[in-house]
A and B are shown apart, each in its own frame.
Chain A
Amino acid sequence: MTASLVGTGTLARLAVRRDRVLLPVGILGITIFAVSSAKATLALYPTVASMDAGIKTIFASPSAVALYGPISDPTDPDALAVVKTTMFGAVLLAIFGYAVVRRHTRSEEEDGRFELVGAGVVGRRAPLTAAVAVATAAVLATCLLTGLGYAAIGMDVAGSLAAAAGWAATGLAFVGLAAVAAQLASTARGCAGLTMGALGVLFLLRAIADAGTGVPGWLGWVSPVGWTSKAEAFGADRSWVVLLGVGLLAVCLLAAFALLQRRDLGAGLLPARRGRANAGATLAGPVGLAWRLGRSSTIGWTVGMLVGGLVIGSLAKSAMDMFADPAIADLLRKMGGGVGLLSDVYLSTELGFIAIIAAAYGVTTVLRWRAEETQGHTELVLATADSRTRYAASHLLVALLGTAALVFALGLGTVLADASGGGTLGGAGRVLPAALIRLPAVWGCVGVAVAAIGWFPRWTAAIGWGALAFFLVVGEFGGVFGMPQWLMDLAPFTHVPRMPVEAFAWPPTIALTAVAAGLCIVGVLGFRRRDIG
């Protein structure tokens, strides 16, 4: 046993050295986001009564509960202060833990660096153990700092501990799941697909358990994402849920070790298949290549969006039932701008949130273009008769049409589920335009990443994700933080007409489309004139 772990310490130090930026940024970023948001909320709503109006009404809607999880104690200001960030932070933490594990296991193996390491005095289990150890430490540090932060700004100590424990349960579970996925899949992308797919499914399961009506009580305990809800920080304060996370991590680690024992270096358990000897008719030009490279990811995301739409559509009816209370209905109507049906307010809010996720797909597509360049593939293509403009345009085309397909699938899913549930939202003619109106803003996010690839290629990922995270924070938490209007105006989603609550309007639509097009053109011009590689 110990022989298979030789070198773990050295590899863990190597991982920390390689991630000397990523780890502090992840740990402090999530901590500061959670603690400062709680502090801002407590300052914004000094009394429980003001919180009733500002927060509790929102959580009367099951869609909000599905998204954020339930309020653990409606009478405790501390519980209300963290309700919007708890679930969001748990998901970020799960992604953080998974990303650290993947970076130091499957990605290293795929890039051939494991071979060099494995030839040294390194036990068979050492690389995996080191990656899991670093990820576990990063997750626990984030939880601990956040708990301390909550306590430091004067929130209940037992509740702060439970908040940290709930996050730790979810975070550690995904460290374990990522460790198993890294053994099952033979590529880093496959590992990402498995883990992120699991996150999506488990989040959905938790959403149904938290917000659905008539679901059995045990369902909430099945999903590791739900353990954060079940900790009920500042309510029941179930700090012991952290043991569930530790337990799942231990089980996953044993499973991963068992899988590791059965496979070769570089291989997964899912075997590599043979392919065709000749290129098919579609793999003919730069567009064919860009589509082939983005095909599986586009299909996966589109299905995800369709499912997202189905959830929105199927929750519509229960959302409307909640609004039957005239006081809540009145308040919501005021929040929605004072016009339109309640179902429209619900639809517009949900679509607006998920559209930002569609923008994330756009950013990953542009990042694939950048990865093509750093991996030396772009060089091969540009050495042929393909021009840079055509090459850039083909990747751009996949990003723009792909996001359009995603947003359309979102609308379609909503329409289908709503139609089977009685048509609360008002049919395709109302829902589809409300979804598609978000597209220019989504394209704006793509444009930012494209501009980055043209002029600051090394910073493409930082700029693309940074801008998206900024837009998300502004949209979701801008009001809570009391951000100035000019800052909120920087986010494209601020300017989208909130159809169907608001009427369609040409000026913002044209302006957003023009900005997106301008950014794309600037990016392609930059790409045309700079060095490749």
Chain B
Amino acid sequence: MSAPIEISGLRKSFGTTVALDGLDLTVAQGEIHGFLGPNGAGKSTTIRVLLGLLRADGGQARLLGGDPWTDVAQLHRRIAYVPGDVALWPNLTGGEVIDLLARLRGGLNAARRDDLLARFDLDPTKKCRAYSKGNRQKVALVAALSSDAELLLFDEPTAGLDPLMDRVFRDHVDEVRTEGRTVLLSSHILSEVEALCDRVSIIRAGRTVESGSLAQLRHLTRTSVTATLEHPPSAAELAALTGVHDVVLDGSRVTLSADTDHIGAVLSALGAHGIQTLISQPPTLEELFMRSYAS
């Protein structure tokens, strides 16, 4: 069986603006996949191509083994979607919207709906115009999570939620994972991605710059080391070591960054000079992103 999402070389332009410039993305069955990138990188455009709302200019996009543009009705029965900016009908109640979206998808799990309403603490009798941003988001989340969809597409789903509700959301994504369903989660909240995702893809300016498990990605980056040495060597001597960068020597205190692959050799070299104190910090996800987002 093919992967739920397979995208290669996807292109999409709006007039002269290039939104997607040869994007690649593969999401495997049963994984929670983090989808990251700066504002305007093309995350929402990618998701909207997958939903068949936008027609790609070039490249391949396969959704659950089908064509997202032509096989709309058949594919959409098997997916659920939460947009980043949830717009609801102002004159319908939250409960009506949840039921409507479920019926349009082809069915509703009533027990799960009521459970979700209780856990998200959402009043379904209010008109949508009276909901705050967070509550509108909850309506879309309840509608999506109460479905039996095998693939869930979340576009920054927790942007308006309070930490308590964020927790509820994470619990539900964990449940989805245990049920073997697949999730594509676009997000800016790095702690959320770190806690939830099995693999991540980072995109910038419409192209994929990194893709892999968090452990793999960490490997590509540098560990920062701060040490106080008994007999500090010269800065040039340290800089000559393989995989060492940005050496700063301040008396007996040395700060450097080392390629994660060479960290063992670097530490032994420092050891020869008598380590008194040592702080070694693996790259945080944040640094990973900063490196990928910037350059």
Q: Measured between alpha carbons, how far is A517 from B86 in the docked complex, in Å?
A: 35
Complex A-B, nearest 5 residue pairs according to Cβ-Cβ distance, in ascending order: A376-B87, A279-B99, A275-B93, A384-B104, A383-B81
Q: Residue A4 at the B interface, CB < 8 A?
A: no
Determine which residue in A286, A288, A377 has the highest number of CB atoms from chain B within 10 A of its CB, and name it.
Answer: A377
Q: Residue B219 at the A interface, CB < 8 A?
A: no
Indicate if the CB atoms of B72 and A382 lie closer than 8 Å.
Answer: yes
A513 → chain B closest CB, angstroms: 29
Indicate if the CB atoms of A380 and B76 lie closer than 8 Å.
Answer: no
Q: Residue A303 at the B interface, CB < 8 A?
A: no
A388 → chain B closest CB, angstroms: 7
Indicate if the CB atoms of B104 and A278 lie closer than 8 Å.
Answer: no
Determine which residue in A110, A279, A531 has the highest number of CB atoms from chain B within 10 A of its CB, and name it.
Answer: A279
Q: Measured between alpha carbons, how far is A389 from B74 in the docked complex, in Å?
A: 14
Q: For residue B140, which residues in chain A have a CB less than 8 angstroms away from its CB? A: 380
Q: Residue A379 at the B interface, CB < 8 A?
A: yes
* Residue on B nearest A532 in the bound complex, by CB: B53
Digitize B98-134: 1 where CB-to-A-CB distance is under 8 Å, 0 elsewhere.
1111011110000000000000000011110110000
Interface residues of A, CB < 8 Å — how many? 37
* Residue on A nearest B12 in the bound complex, by CB: A531
Q: Residue A386 at the B interface, CB < 8 A?
A: yes
Q: Residue B92 at the A interface, CB < 8 A?
A: yes
A287 → chain B closest CB, angstroms: 11
* Residue on B nearest A387 in the bound complex, by CB: B73
Q: Measured between alpha carbons, how far is A379 from B81 in the docked complex, in Å?
A: 10
Q: Measured between alpha carbons, how far is A530 from B85 in the docked complex, in Å?
A: 22
| A3-36, CB < 8 A from B | none
| A502-533, CB < 8 A from B | 529-533
Q: Residue A262 at the B interface, CB < 8 A?
A: no
Q: Measured between alpha carbons, how far is A288 from B92 in the docked complex, in Å?
A: 12
Indicate if the CB atoms of B51 and A377 lie closer than 8 Å.
Answer: no
Selected from B87, B93, B95, the residue in CB contact (under 8 A) with A380 is B87
Indicate if the CB atoms of A272 and B129 lie closer than 8 Å.
Answer: yes
A residues sitting closer than 8 Å to B (CB atoms) are 110, 187, 272-280, 283-286, 288-289, 292-293, 375-377, 379-388, 529-533
Q: Chain B interface residue count: which class?
A: 35 or more
Q: For residue B97, which residues in chain A have a CB less than 8 angstroms away from its CB? A: 279
Q: For residue A530, which residues in chain B have a CB less than 8 angstroms away from its CB? A: 55
Answer whether A381 and B73 are a contact pair too, CB < 8 Å, given A274-B125, A274-B126, A277-B95. Answer: no
Indicate if the CB atoms of A386 and B93 lie closer than 8 Å.
Answer: no
Q: Measured between alpha carbons, how far is A186 from B106 in the docked complex, in Å?
A: 34
Answer whether A385 and B106 are a contact pair too, CB < 8 Å, given A376-B85, A377-B89, A531-B55. Answer: yes
Q: Measured between alpha carbons, how far is A274 from B92 in the docked complex, in Å?
A: 10
Q: For residue B177, which residues in chain A have a CB less than 8 angstroms away from its CB? A: none
Instruction: List 15 other contacts, CB 8 Å, given A379-B53, A385-B106.
Output: A272-B130, A274-B93, A274-B125, A277-B93, A283-B103, A284-B103, A379-B48, A380-B86, A383-B53, A383-B153, A385-B72, A385-B73, A385-B76, A387-B73, A532-B53
Indicate if the CB atoms of B54 and A532 lie closer than 8 Å.
Answer: yes
Indicate if the CB atoms of A533 and B53 lie closer than 8 Å.
Answer: yes
Answer whether A533 and B48 are a contact pair too, CB < 8 Å, given A379-B53, A384-B104. Answer: yes
Answer whether A384 and B83 are a contact pair too, CB < 8 Å, given A279-B100, A289-B100. Answer: no
Q: Measured between alpha carbons, how far is A380 from B153 in the docked complex, in Å?
A: 12
Q: Residue B77 at the A interface, CB < 8 A?
A: yes
The total of interchain contacts (Cβ-Cβ below 8 angstroms) comes to 119
B261 → chain A closest CB, angstroms: 43
Q: Measured between alpha carbons, how far is A279 from B93 in the docked complex, in Å?
A: 8
Digitize B140-165: 1 where CB-to-A-CB distance is under 8 Å, 0 elsewhere.
10000000000001000000000000
Selected from A272, A275, A387, A532, the residue in CB contact (under 8 A) with B92 is A275
Indicate if the CB atoms of B101 and A531 lie closer than 8 Å.
Answer: no
B281 → chain A closest CB, angstroms: 41
A228 → chain B closest CB, angstroms: 35
Q: For residue B95, which residues in chain A have a CB less than 8 angstroms away from its CB? A: 275-279
Q: For residue A381, which residues in chain B have a CB less than 8 angstroms away from its CB? A: 101, 104
Answer whether A529 and B55 are a contact pair too, CB < 8 Å, given A278-B99, A381-B104. Answer: yes
Q: Measured between alpha carbons, how far is A514 from B91 in the docked complex, in Å?
A: 36
B173 → chain A closest CB, angstroms: 19
Answer whether A384 and B89 are a contact pair too, CB < 8 Å, given A278-B95, A279-B96, A529-B55. Answer: no
Q: Residue B59 at the A interface, CB < 8 A?
A: no
B25 → chain A closest CB, angstroms: 18
* Residue on A nearest B144 in the bound complex, by CB: A383
Digitize B55-84: 1 where CB-to-A-CB distance is under 8 Å, 0 elsewhere.
100000000000000001110110101010
Selected from A276, A283, A387, A529, the residue in CB contact (under 8 A) with B100 is A283
Indicate if the CB atoms of B92 and A285 lie closer than 8 Å.
Answer: no
A440 → chain B closest CB, angstroms: 32
Indicate if the CB atoms of A187 and B90 lie closer than 8 Å.
Answer: yes
Q: 26 pairs across A/B with beta carbons < 8 Å? A: A187-B91, A272-B127, A273-B127, A277-B93, A277-B95, A279-B95, A279-B97, A279-B103, A283-B92, A286-B104, A289-B100, A377-B88, A379-B51, A379-B83, A380-B83, A380-B101, A383-B79, A384-B105, A385-B76, A385-B104, A385-B106, A386-B73, A386-B104, A531-B55, A533-B48, A533-B54
